[in-house]
Amino acid sequence: VDPTAIGRTARSNPASYVGAFDAIRKRFAAEAVAIERGYTVGTFSFNSGTGRCPTCSGNGFERVEMQFLSDVYLRCPDCDGRRYRPETLEVKIVRGPGPARSIADVLDMTVSEAAAFFADDREVLACLEPLAAVGLDYLRLGQPVPTLSGGEAQRLKLAGRLAEQGDRKIGARHLFLLDEPTTGLHFEDVAKL
């Protein structure tokens, strides 16, 4: 497991990498408002055309090309960086005593906040637990993968592999070799890893 970048697209995030985003989108598609409006799981993807913001195509920003300077990225004026149409954001999930949350609110949660929010949902929790187990509980679920450091990318790869295993235990047939996984980590994070 090396620290090379996972991808270059801002559409990939920790939640999608470990499979949690699929389970979360299913929960939103099962809400009464979503069923009433005929929304599907694809409506809650910022990669599909039905639920994403038409102005920024679900990116949350617009790119302004500069001829002799680096490109400038501006927050989308229509969705305010939330990636979805306003009517998609009207579908909210209520869990526990806290406020109702839209899909954009959930993507803005950290892994530990999302684990607390989905504490009664085994499928979502099973995907989030590997992220917390490798010390990435501070990452936002919707954080673009290209913004991760090398060590975070390496631990995300490890969490993805652990999430693939699901309920199965990692046995003697799996050997993980990590290329300098503790570089730049705090001693508490080193102990956790």
Residue 184 has pLDDT above 80, yes or no: no
- Tell me the pLDDT of the chain averaged across its residues: 86
Query: Given pLDDT bands bounded at 50, 70 and 90, which one contains residue 167?
Result: very low
Report, as an integer, the average pLDDT of 141-166. Answer: 83
Pairing of β 72-75 and β 61-64: antiparallel
Residue 149: pLDDT band with limits 50, 70, 90: confident
The SS3 of residue 95 is coil
DSSP code per residue over 103-138: HHHHHTSBHHHHHHHTTT-HHHHHHHHHHHHTT-TT
Q: pLDDT tens-digit profile of 96-132?
A: 778 999 999 999 999 999 999 999 999 999 999 999 9
> What does the pLDDT read at residue 166?
62
What letters, b where the CB count within 10 A reaches 16 and e where it falls short, cover 113-149?
Answer: bbbebbeebeebbbbbbbbbbbbbbebbbbbbbeebe
> Highest mean pLDDT range out of 65-79, 153-167, 179-193?
65-79
70-104 per-position pLDDT tens digit: 888 899 999 999 999 999 999 999 987 789 999 99
